[in-house]
Every structure is written in C-alpha cells, then in structure tokens.
Amino acid sequence: MANPLCLMMPVLPGTNPTAIAATLLEYQAKINAALTDIGTVHFARFTLLDRSQPNLLPNLGSLGASDTLIIGVITEYDGSFNSYIEDFVAQLGEVFDALLQFVVGGKALMPVANHVTAFEAFITANDAAQHLPNTGLYSAYPQTVQQILASV
C-alpha cells in the first residue's frame, strides 16, 4: 500500500525562481535514476509554487526575486516514512542539499547526510500529507512497486 508525502518547503524571501528551476533541471536525470534505484516510489514530482498567484503557478518569465515561493516534493511510496527518507538521503542527499540552500531553515540541515534525524523532523513538520485534513490517499491497487514491476 502506498503512502503519501506532500513536502512543502517555504523558500527564502528574495529568491529568484529561475535559480530553483535551473537546479531542478540540472538534477532531473539524477532524481529519476535514484527514484528507480530506490524501488519503492510509485510517483514523484518536484514542483515550484507561488503563493501570490491565484493558481499557485510561478511566472518564470516575469518574476524577479520573490518572497512567496514554495518548493513542493510530492510522492507516493511503499514502506515506512523513516526508511523512505533514509533512502532519499542516501540516493538524493546532494539534490536536497542543492535545494535546501533556497529553503527557510534549510542551511541548518545541510548536508542532509549528517543531519538525517533533523531532516526527517523538518519533513514531518512540512509534510501536508501528515497533517489534517490532508491525510487521505486513494489507491486503485494494493500492490507495491516491486510487485507491480514483477508482473509486467
């Protein structure tokens, strides 16, 4: 059974969204490879949101520095939360270090490999999926990623 993660990381005021977008683009291939290697992730996406926009979509073409950005990490995964985060740190610690430079309180968590417990606490505090009313997750199937891949 899949578990949800909906991490919402507030971005430091004055950050240019194109710097975040460039960082995400730079690491996308590494992210995809790591998620495949971890083997418990059903779906994953990194998103950039802008609280000042009615639809939350950032306007990269006209924005300079912003005080209203959020980096979202939205995934569905198998297994326990702690195991999942430890897998993320082992495989994607470099990526989170690159993103946390933009995040309020992020520098205190870097490198995440040396601050796993604090990183887990940060994620728990900022994971909308662990806070009411956002705790529900519909799943059309009960299989794990590995069970699904074995049947293909």
Mention every residue, 6+ apart, whose C-beta is less than 8 A from residue 3.
Answer: 76, 77, 78, 79, 81, 84, 137
pLDDT in tens, 53-64: 999 988 777 667
pLDDT in tens, 54-108: 999 887 776 678 899 999 999 999 999 999 999 989 999 999 999 999 999 999 9
Q: Are 21 and 98 in contact (CB under 8 A)?
A: no
Query: At 38, is the pLDDT very low, low, confident or very high (cuts 50, 70, 90)?
Result: very high
Confidence (pTM): 0.91
